[in-house]
Amino acid sequence: MAWQWGMAISVAPILNFENGPPAERALQQANCLENFAFINLVLKPDQINGMSQGKLKMGMIGGGRDAFIGKVHRMAAALDGEIGLVCGAFSATPEKSRLSGKDLGLPERRVYGSFQEMIQAEAGLPAGERMDFVSIVTPNHMHFEPARMALEHGFDVVMDKPMTFDLTQALELQKMVERTGLLFCLTHTYTGYPMVKEARQLLAEGRLGRIRKVYVEYPQGWLSTSLEQTHQKQAEWRTDPGRSGMGGCLGDIGTHAANLAEYVTGLRITELCGDIRMVVEGRRLDDDVAILLRFDGGASGVLMATQVAAGEENNIRIRIYGEKGGLEWQQADANTLWVKWLDRPVEMLRTGGPGIASRAAHNTRVPAGHPEGYLEAFANLYRNFAYCLKARKEGISPGPEWMDFPGVGEGVRGMLFIEKAIESGKSREKWIAMDDGDFFRKGSKNQ
């Protein structure tokens, strides 16, 4: 297959924010800088070059001023020059949405006061002008309704995790995605790393033999104190059952760990036994979980997720052991995958290095030795989603590497995991089955 260098540059003016608290100025400047200069130097296969090279038009719900994950989504979507932000309803407060749109350089007529107004208005625009898909980056309790309405109006959806407020909503959303046939991407970021994809392919090929043990952990320390009592926005909603749902740490990072374990191994969690705790006094949702796991195929495992490990940042880590050896990956050294053999020396595989399999290579942008991190992993989800959406528009069958992003099936799995882990934590019968119906076996339509 021949390859070609492609470059896209988008430039917007930098605003000079001279007033307000330092933290507020930094957030406003970051909102502007995210659109300042995305220089994309990407190797693209001939089939992609054969598709329309116009940018897909993205609308966003949530992600306004002071938001964290919205900026990340916008940077990730813009990285490869495949997607451009054209409209948004950035806040439940119309004025804040308007100001956020102004920060991002959007025309006033494409900045909306509510997601209902945005979806209805965009659906009424000519096909060449309206948004192609919507990215939903709101707190958990505001995931389902915008997604439902977008699908009903024919828009494909990208959504931050966890997918919904509860399992009932997740199952309803799954039915809608299957009924409409529209694309749905759930941003489990860590599956976008090249070396995570390398680990998955290595195990799928059976090179380590039958999987026996799985250890996955996600330690954070940022909620070691009652941060939510200081009116810190991110802490407030994540510890509020009315906005986060029944899981705190479980929903925020526990679902990432469970998803990573299932994605890399290709196995399904069938039973779990959970110790679910609220460590910080007065906290209303869990902030520390330890869960024993059983997988189909006979493997067992341990999952740890905590937000009260003082001093920790975001070093999600996974270790998997089979009959012939094991592997280890961690976000702190995301470009390295260690493979440990029973009968020969340890191997170190590197992003962009020799011997890398097809899916890792597809999701690598630069030569070996140039670190690729969180934003690039996030961008891989958006890029693969964009390739699939463009392929559908052009009547081209998407390649398997393009379809490798989390979908609605993974979203249902995440909500089931939260519900069953909490059930186990409260029950005297500690081992709880996750195999409660056929719905989870369907998995993602993208895989």
Q: Which domains does the chain have, with CATH numbers?
A: 3-138 (3.40.50.720), 191-370+403-442 (3.30.360.10)
User: Mean pLDDT across the stretch 239-262?
Assistant: 98
Q: What is the mean pLDDT of residues 274-299?
A: 97
> What angle (nearest 5°) sits at the alpha carbon of residue 53, between those of residues 131 and 147?
25
By CB atoms closer than 10 A (0-12, 13-18, 19+), residue 374 is: middle
Q: Which tens digit of pLDDT belongs to each residue from 76-117?
A: 999 999 999 999 999 999 999 999 999 999 999 999 999 999
How high is the pLDDT of residue 429? 85
Please tell me the distance from the alpha carbon of residue 99 to that of residue 105, in angstroms, as a whole number. Answer: 10
Helices 94-103 and 22-33, interaxial angle, to 10°? 60
Radius of gyration (C-alpha) of the chain in whole angstroms: 21
What does the pLDDT read at residue 136? 98
pLDDT score at 38:
33
Copy the structure tokens of residue 279: 């460590």
pLDDT confidence tier of residue 435, bands split at 50, 70 and 90:
confident
Nearest to 185 by CA among 413, 415, 407: 407
Model pLDDT for residues 418-428, shown as the tens digit of each residue: 999 999 999 98
Structure tokens at 340: 């440990």
The DSSP letter of residue 254 is I
Q: Over range 308-314, report the average pLDDT.
A: 98
Predicted TM-score of the model (pTM): 0.88
What is the mean pLDDT of the segment spanning 13-32?
40
At 374-383, the pLDDT tens digits run 999 999 999 9
State the DSSP H helix or E strand holding residue 159, giving kind and residue range, or none if neither. Answer: strand 156-159
Q: State the average pLDDT over residues 16-20.
A: 39
Digit-coded pLDDT (tens) for 438-447 = 444 444 445 4
Cis peptide before 162 (omega within 30 of 0): yes
Which tens digits make up the pLDDT trace of 149-182? Answer: 999 999 999 999 999 999 999 999 999 999 999 9
